[in-house]
C-alpha cells in the first residue's frame, strides 16, 4: 500500500517538474514578445532633455545592448538565464540599473503579502461562516444575505476599489487617496511610519476582503445546501443522531473544496492584487510588475512571473498531496484499492 501511494506522489512530482520547465520557457519568452526594445526606452529618456549628443547616445545604446546581453542569439540568452537561475541570480534591472532584481522584489513583496494574506484568511473564515449560517438557518437570514454575497462576489476588485476610493478618499476624505505611506516619510519601524502605513492600508484591504467574503460565502452556502440534502444526513437524523454531530459532518464535508480554494488563493496571492495595487498606487509586487512591463524591463518581469509561477505550482502540488491524504476516494484510487 505504501509503495503504491509513493508511486502516486512520484507521479505528481514528475508532472510538477514538467509544468515547471514549460513555465520556465514561457517565463523567458513572454517578456521578449512585448513590442519594443527596453534599451530604446532607456536611451530615449536620456536623449529627451537634449543634453546628450547623438553620437554619445549611440555609444550608450551599444554598451547597454552588450551589457544586457541583447546582442546574443535567443538560445544563448536562455542558457545564460538558466545558469543565473541555478546560482540564485535574477539579474540586473534594465530600467533601474545597477539595482538587482532580488532587491526590488524584496522591497515590494512584504507590502503585497501584508495586504493579501490577512485579506485572504479573514475573507475565507468570515465568508465560510456566513455561507454555512445562511444555508443552515434559511428563511429571512438567507434571503437578506444571499443577494449581497452575489452582488459583491460578482463585482471585479478594481470596481470596488474605485468606488471605495471615491467615497472614502475623495468625497469624505477619511482615508488617503493613494500610496503605501506618506510621501514625506521613508520606510522605517517608527510608530509614525506604521501609523501612516495603516492609514493607507485600509482601503485596498477592504476592496479585497469584501469581494473575497462574498465569493467564499457563495461557495460554502452551495456546498452546505447540497450536504444538508444528502442521504447520510437523512439517515443519521432518522436514527436520532445528535443534531450538532450531524451538522459537524455536514460542514466538514462541505469544507473540502473550500480548503482547496484557500490553498490556491494563498499560492496566487503574489499576483492577486495587481489591479488593486495599481488603483491605489500601493508599493507592492503588482505596481512593480506594471511599471516593469511599461519599461520592457525583462529581468524584473521575469523575476516576478517566476515567483508567481513557483507559488502557484507549489500550491497545486501541495493540494494534490493533501487530497491524497484527506479524501479516501483519491487515496484508494492511488493505492489500487478502487
Query: What is residue 90's three-state secondary structure?
Result: coil
- Crossing angle, helix 298-326 and helix 243-267, to 10 degrees? 160
31, 36, 94, 101, 199 from 292: Cα distances, Å: 10, 13, 9, 11, 27
* Model confidence pLDDT, tens digit, residues 104-132: 998 888 898 898 889 989 999 999 888 88
pLDDT at residue 116 in the model: 87
Strand partners, 100: 92
**Beta carbons of 152 and 160 less than 8 angstroms apart:** yes
Domain edges within the chain: 12-87, 107-335
User: CA-to-CA distance for 105 and 103, rounded, in angstroms?
Assistant: 6
- Crossing angle, helix 101-137 and helix 285-294, to 10 degrees? 130
C-alpha cell at 23: 513555465
* Helix boundaries (H) for the chain: 2-32, 38-47, 54-67, 74-86, 101-137, 139-153, 157-164, 191-228, 231-238, 243-267, 269-272, 274-280, 285-294, 298-326, 328-335
CA nearest 111: which of 20, 46, 195, 201?
Answer: 201
DSSP class of 73 = -
pLDDT at residue 308 in the model: 84
User: CA-to-CA distance for 222 and 82, rounded, in angstroms?
Assistant: 46
Cis peptide, bond prior to residue 323, ω within 30 of zero: no
**Beta carbons of 233 and 250 less than 8 angstroms apart:** yes
pLDDT at residue 126 in the model: 92
How many residues in total does the chain contain? 338
Domain spanning 107-335: CATH 3.40.630.10: no
User: CA-to-CA distance for 333 and 338, rounded, in angstroms?
Assistant: 5
C-alpha cell at 105: 522584489
Q: What is the pLDDT along the chain (338 residues), one digit of tens a residue?
A: 456 667 777 888 888 888 888 888 888 887 777 666 666 766 676 666 656 666 776 777 777 677 667 777 878 888 888 888 888 888 888 777 778 888 899 888 889 889 888 998 999 999 988 888 888 888 888 888 888 888 888 887 778 888 888 898 888 888 888 888 887 887 787 888 888 889 889 999 998 889 889 888 888 888 888 888 888 888 887 888 877 787 777 777 777 777 777 777 776 676 667 788 888 888 888 888 888 887 778 788 888 888 888 888 887 788 777 766 666 666 666 555 55
DSSP string, 144-158: HHHHHHHHHHTS-HH
Amino acid at each position: 500500500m505504501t509503495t503504491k501511494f509513493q508511486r502516486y506522489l512520484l507521479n505528481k512530482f514528475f508532472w510538477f517538474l514538467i509544468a515547471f520547465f514549460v513555465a520556465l520557457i514561457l517565463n523567458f519568452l513572454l517578456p521578449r514578445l512585448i513590442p519594443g526594445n527596453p534599451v530604446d526606452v532607456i536611451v530615449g529618456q536620456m536623449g529627451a532633455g537634449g543634453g546628450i549628443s547623438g553620437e554619445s547616445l549611440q555609444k550608450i545604446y551599444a554598451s547597454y545592448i552588450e551589457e544586457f546581453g541583447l546582442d546574443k542569439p535567443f538560445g544563448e540568452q536562455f542558457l545564460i538565464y538558466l545558469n543565473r537561475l541555478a546560482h540564485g541570480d535574477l539579474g540586473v534591472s534594465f530600467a533601474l540599473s545597477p539595482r538587482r532584481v532580488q532587491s526590488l522584489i524584496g522591497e515590494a513583496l512584504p507590502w503585497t503579502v501584508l495586504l493579501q494574506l490577512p485579506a485572504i484568511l479573514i475573507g475565507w473564515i468570515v465568508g465560510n461562516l456566513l455561507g454555512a449560517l445562511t444555508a443552515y438557518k434559511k428563511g429571512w437570514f438567507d434571503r437578506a444575505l444571499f443577494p449581497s454575497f452575489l452582488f459583491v462576489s460578482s463585482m471585479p476588485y478594481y470596481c470596488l476599489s474605485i468606488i471605495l476610493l471615491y467615497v472614502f478618499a475623495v468625497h469624505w476624505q477619511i482615508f488617503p487617496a493613494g500610496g503605501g505611506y506618506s510621501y514625506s516619510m521613508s520606510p522605517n519601524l517608527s510608530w509614525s511610519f506604521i501609523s501612516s502605513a495603516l492609514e493607507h492600508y485600509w482601503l485596498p484591504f477592504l476592496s479585497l476582503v469584501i469581494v473575497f467574503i462574498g465569493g467564499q460565502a457563495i461557495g460554502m452556502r452551495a456546498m452546505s445546501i447540497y450536504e444538508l440534502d444528502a442521504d447520510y444526513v437523512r439517515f443519521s437524523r432518522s436514527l436520532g443522531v445528535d443534531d450538532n454531530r450531524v451538522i459537524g459532518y455536514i460542514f466538514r464535508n462541505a469544507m473540502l473544496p473550500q480548503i482547496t480554494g484557500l490553498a490556491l488563493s494563498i499560492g496566487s496571492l503574489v499576483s492577486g492584487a495587481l489591479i488593486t495595487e495599481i488603483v491605489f498606487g500601493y508599493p507592492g509586487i503588482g505596481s512593480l510588475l506594471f511599471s516593469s512591463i511599461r519599461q520592457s524591463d525583462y529581468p524584473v518581469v521575469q523575476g516576478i512571473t517566476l515567483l508567481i509561477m513557483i507559488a502557484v505550482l507549489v500550491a497545486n502540488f501541495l493540494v494534490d498531496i493533501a487530497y491524497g491524504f484527506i479524501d479516501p476516494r483519491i487515496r484508494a484510487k492511488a493505492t489500487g484499492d478502487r
